[in-house]
A and B are shown apart, each in its own frame.
Chain A
Amino acid sequence: MRYAAHRLAQAVPVFFATTFVIYAMVFVLPGDPILALAGDKPVPDQVLDVMRERYHLNDPLLVQYGRYMLGLLHGDLGETFTGQPVSELLQDRWGVTAQLAATAWIFELAVGIALGVVAGLRRGGVADTAVLAGTTFVIAAPVFVVGYTAQIVFGLNLGLFPTAGTDEGWPGSYLLPGMVLGSFGLAYVARLTRTALVENLRSDYVRTATAKGMRRRRVVGVHALRNSLIPVVTFLGVDFGNLMAGAVVTEGIFNLPGIGQQVFQSIQLQEGPVVVGVTTVLVMIFIAANLAVDLLYGLLDPRIRRARA
């Protein structure tokens, strides 16, 4: 319990500092958003003043940030310069990104651990070499290269998956993008599982279990694998935040109307409120995931709990 409180106390200032850094970065975006809104037409000074006043653009940065955080407490993410609430704008889009990230995450978890176990059990074998080579390649190839290749091969040439959009709903439309998005994490999960399993299979407690006459399936499945999954759990937890934030590229390739696409457009249109709103929520997810992992880690391995508290 003390450990949990300690970690929570650390996470709170980090949350505020991170969101403030993002807020400040967006704030220094050059150009006047009110002028940009009007396009080529001249804007009367009076209108400019009223709009600036309405969106509190004249206040010091810290005051603006404070006001924003207060609004966030009530679930208010602010509104765009055209008067639309940011939360409304993002409502439908969160679902798309969450479905995409969840698909990728499940893919990473299931296939990644399976590949890692297969490779780790027969170290140096054909399967092991194939998994090592394959994962290195996937880690090295940038996600958009993987994405386009998958789109051409599986979508266009083989016709196995739809190439763009969300018409087929979940899971049909999300399978291929999910696999592309999750491919990087999958490679990490497989490698982490493999390395940990290889190390644990050589440990004393595994030898003891085998010596007692326990079946191989139980030795590997219950004893070795459970300990091997500790670093994997850490990675999977942290990676969920990464998947949500990293969806920008994948959503672009497969034309999925998620938050990544929205925020990318908003950055280029200088829609500061949308950028800050989305990034703040992403940071919250990221920090919460980190925190959850830290606590889970403490549960899985009592040594860590005692050492850190």
Chain B
Amino acid sequence: MLARDAWREMRGRVVFWLSAVVLAVAVAMAAVPGVFAAMGPNEGCDLRMSKKGPASGAVFGYDLQGCDYWSQIVHGTRASIMIGIAVTVAALAIAVVLGLLGGYYGGLLDALISRVTDVFFGIPFVLGATVVLVAFPDHGIWAMTSVLVLLGWTTMTRLMRGQVIAVRNMDFVEAARMLGASDRRIMFRHILPNAIAPVFVVAMLNVGNVIAGEATLDYLGVGLQYPDVSWGLQLNVAQTFFAEYPHLLVFPALFLTAAVLSFLTLGDVVRDALDPRLR
């Protein structure tokens, strides 16, 4: 019922369709880059073309290695989208389990979970991630995902816990308990569906934030490494040459911003649809 109302609300808004289209294109680029790109990753590069600007045959120009920049940027989509979604799904799972346990049982367990959350909440993101990533020599997609999950589950967990506490004493939960439902059934069948909506919205916003965070680590040189292809890495290379060759900076920045912007906007639209009070 709520979902149907929300859908009716969303489909009338232009920004919803704009961000949905951008995300559909981004996901398609991540899934089947070959359809969009003429060249494979790091393929068909010609050093004589290094840093040349947009020209016929290469709409986005060439990168430092003389690769077709459009193809390289298309291939960079996969890292961002995959890490953004994988990190958020994992963090959401942690948040749901810990939030349900802490919020439902309360007491010592809740205090323990809350303090552990505080600890990880207090670690500064860039410094914490850099320390971990330098410690582990392998900076592949999985290492990046793990680090971002490790530092990124706290906000949703806190929110989930708060939601569970708000719901757990409601009449329908009492009724289920009277009828002899087990704790697990109460948590997952009764509390979870009534507590998840705001957490879900934050999760959608979180995808955008994770993508930006991943790009920042790549940019600083502690994230993904060549021969991986990602927008953050392209921006890392661009920082040395952007004054003379602005296209190196502009195009990946444009893609990155569009992707992050779409996830944030989509999250905003969903929140407005689920919470009509703010309209």
Interface contact A142-B212, CB-CB below 8 Å: yes
Interface contact B264-A139, CB-CB below 8 Å: yes
* Proximity bits, B111-153, A CB within 8 Å = 1, else 0: 0000110111011111110111011010000000000000000
Q: Name the residue on B nearest A139 (C-beta).
A: B264
Report the Cα distance A262→B122, complex, angstroms: 20
- Pick from B45-53, B186-194, B214-222 the stretch touching chain A: B214-222
* Proximity bits, B30-43, A CB within 8 Å = 1, else 0: 00000000000000
A180 at interface (Cβ–Cβ under 8 A)? Answer: no
B178 at interface (Cβ–Cβ under 8 A)? Answer: no
Interface size on A, residues (CB 8 A): 50
Interface contact B122-A286, CB-CB below 8 Å: yes
Q: Which 6 A-B pairs have the closest CB atoms?
A: A245-B124, A140-B261, A140-B260, A17-B119, A145-B253, A18-B122
B268 at interface (Cβ–Cβ under 8 A)? Answer: yes
Interface contact A22-B123, CB-CB below 8 Å: yes
Cross-chain pairs A/B with CB under 8 angstroms, 7 sampled? A18-B122, A26-B135, A136-B261, A140-B261, A141-B257, A152-B243, A279-B124
**Are A22 and B128 also in contact (CB < 8 A) when A142-B215, A283-B123, A286-B122 are?**
yes
**Quick one: which of B206-244 are within 8 Å of A by CB?**
208, 212, 215-216, 219-220, 222, 235, 239, 242-243
A30 CB contacts on chain B under 8 angstroms: 135, 137
Interface contact B135-A137, CB-CB below 8 Å: no
A144 at interface (Cβ–Cβ under 8 A)? Answer: yes
Of B120, B125, B126, B253, the most chain A CB neighbours within 10 A belong to: B126
Interface contact A145-B256, CB-CB below 8 Å: yes
Q: Name the residue on A nearest B137 (C-beta).
A: A30
Chain B residues touching A, range: 35 or more
Contact of B131 among A18, A137, A152, A267 (CB under 8 A): A267
A13 at interface (Cβ–Cβ under 8 A)? Answer: yes
Q: Name the residue on A nearest B238 (C-beta).
A: A148
Report the Cα distance A141→B116, complex, angstroms: 31
Interface contact B246-A152, CB-CB below 8 Å: yes
User: Could you tell me the distance in whole angstroms from the C-beta of A237 to the nearest C-beta in chain B?
Assistant: 14
A248 CB contacts on chain B under 8 angstroms: 126-127, 220
A29 at interface (Cβ–Cβ under 8 A)? Answer: yes
B249 at interface (Cβ–Cβ under 8 A)? Answer: yes
A21 at interface (Cβ–Cβ under 8 A)? Answer: yes
B175 CB contacts on chain A under 8 angstroms: none
Interface contact B264-A283, CB-CB below 8 Å: no
Interface contact B261-A137, CB-CB below 8 Å: yes
Report the Cα distance A177→B115, complex, angstroms: 35
Q: Name the residue on A nearest B208 (C-beta).
A: A140
Q: Name the residue on B nearest A147 (C-beta).
A: B239
Interface contact B246-A143, CB-CB below 8 Å: no
Report the Cα distance A149→B127, complex, angstroms: 24
Contact of B130 among A140, A198, A264 (CB under 8 A): A264
B278 at interface (Cβ–Cβ under 8 A)? Answer: yes
A181 at interface (Cβ–Cβ under 8 A)? Answer: no
**Are A136 and B122 also in contact (CB < 8 A) when A142-B215, A152-B243 are?**
no
Interface contact A17-B115, CB-CB below 8 Å: yes
Apart from A14-B119, A152-B243, A241-B124, list 5 A-B contacts with CB within 8 A.
A25-B128, A137-B261, A195-B278, A245-B126, A270-B134
Q: Name the residue on B nearest A156 (C-beta).
A: B243
Q: Name the residue on A nearest B135 (C-beta).
A: A29
Q: Name the residue on A nearest B254 (C-beta).
A: A145
